[in-house]
Structure 1
């Protein structure tokens, strides 16, 4: 998943928060959360979460108040094309938020 994220967002910054990697451009875009981190409810596999995921048009992701995520239990279960599409959508949402903030400042 990390490789896919870095291919889709080559200019992103990768930072650790809560012992998991988060990926930023203007703000947090997404994260990879393994089941080995005990304080998140990922029981098996690895989850990819999107910080502005509640803005997604797709209902595939499990949505909470601030984020949305999907869990994969094996490498074969990852739909790479779908995941890329969601990453690109998350980047567009991030850029729209920044543009809206810049308009308010001017």
Structure 2
């Protein structure tokens, strides 16, 4: 039995990603700016997955936009191969493990 497939698109090679249109990219960045910005404002930091170079570039751009918007530096740090951490000063890895008090 032969079946015709309609609305089928070729998928990119394994590990590749489908590029977003300009409008989709703008909406994605605006959403990340709003959601991640709210989380950073509440907690001082946020961890977000970034599996591809495009996703990492997008998060770095969001951090730069937040820095410009707030007038305070938003730092970006790779936690592992799949996640980035965006944080304000005092909320980075170094502050997560403060030194023990001296006796």
TM-score for the superposition, normalised by structure 1:
0.25
More strand by share: 1
Structure with the bigger percentage of helix:
2
